[in-house]
Amino acid sequence: MKLCRFSIGSCASPRVGLLSTDSVQDLSAAGITSLATLLESTHLTEVLRALAATPLPVHPLASVQLLAPVDQQEVWAAGVTYLRSKKARMEESDFSASAYDRVYEAPRPEIFFKSMPAKVSGPGGIVGIRSDAKWNVPEPELALVFNSRMELVGFTAGNDMSSRDIEGENLLYLPQAKMYRASCALGPCIRVAADEAEARSWTIGVQILRGGAEVFAGETSIGQIKRSFPELAGWLGRSQEFPDGAILLTGTGVVPANEFTLAQGDVVRIRISGIGTLENTVQVV
């Protein structure tokens, strides 16, 4: 099952729905207005199955605007979880390459804050590249969705936009390379009723279009993530609390060649086989 947030019309308030191939079942008629609150349900899968069997309004997918599947949750990210990511981060760094080598093997993972929920872009929205950066890439990532009890309740697709030249210049510039306007996108939905074993069987890929023509495409297996999901959850929740839940991006295993950089107007499509496709347009911010 797939949970989503959506709106109907330009001024409509966000709603929560169950997404199918060509329609959205509107859960607002059942009094459900908060995605984060719904994810707190003790028996979430059973609750969603009961809602799916309830006669609620259904909207054609073409008539709604899907929104980022986050309303109150903080978004965090884990880095250097794929071998390919470790190599890419070492290549981009002027003098601190060994830090990425060490963290890949270290017990403690790299975890950093990515975005407040209000700043997350959704399907069809923009993703930003910094005006003071020269080397910008998308990072297609599986995102883990947790409730306030740090229970893994679902998965979504994410884009952890990065300024590789800024990060490579100095590790202390990581917040500027990773956290800026429109630097995070999530969507198109939250896949529930799937476990880690199933998620690791999915593929994740990215396609970048420029003027309608493909300029980069790549794909990898989510099974290549080095750390287990409980391990990442344990480190994220250590000495932390998330009253509204949290979303954790899990790193990227698809990195364009070093000579590639995004440009204004590029279209980035991130697809996870068990979730769907997240598409965004690049804008200089």
pLDDT in tens, 8-38: 987 679 999 999 999 999 999 999 999 999 9
Percent of the chain with pLDDT over 70: 94
Question: Average pLDDT in the 180-193 region?
Answer: 97
pLDDT of 95 reads 55
- pLDDT tens sequence across 237-275: 999 999 999 999 999 999 999 999 999 999 999 999 999
pLDDT at 176 over 80: yes
Q: In this structure, are strands 58-60 and 23-26 parallel, antiparallel, or unpaired?
A: antiparallel
Burial (0-12, 13-18, 19+ Cβ within 10 Å), 153: buried
Band the pLDDT of 90: cuts 50, 70, 90. low
Using CA atoms, how far residue 153 sits from 68, 90, 242, 265, in Å, is 16, 33, 14, 34
Chain centroid to CA 139: how far? 9
- pLDDT tens sequence across 122-160: 999 999 999 999 999 999 999 999 999 999 999 999 999
d(CA 23, CA 26): 10
In the numeric block, the tokens 């997240």 are attached to: 278
pLDDT at 86 over 60: no
3-class SS of residue 226: coil
Band the pLDDT of 103: cuts 50, 70, 90. confident
Band the pLDDT of 108: cuts 50, 70, 90. very high
Q: Read off the pTM.
A: 0.94
3-state helix, strand, coil in the chain (%, to 5): 25, 35, 40
Domain 74-284: which CATH number of 3.90.850.10, 3.40.640.10, 3.90.550.10, 1.10.3720.10:
3.90.850.10
CB 129 within 8 A of CB 121: no
Chain centroid to CA 60: how far? 25
In the numeric block, the tokens 């700043």 are attached to: 119
pLDDT of 224 reads 94
d(CA 126, CA 146): 25
pLDDT of 231 reads 97
pLDDT of 9 reads 86
CB 205 within 8 A of CB 276: no
Band the pLDDT of 226: cuts 50, 70, 90. very high
CA atoms within 13 A on the CB side of 195: 1
pLDDT of 130 reads 98
pLDDT of 84 reads 55
Which of 55, 57, 184 lies closest to 119, judged by CA? Answer: 184
Chain centroid to CA 227: how far? 17
In the numeric block, the tokens 């080598």 are attached to: 101
Q: In this structure, are strands 162-163 and 136-137 parallel, antiparallel, or unpaired?
A: antiparallel
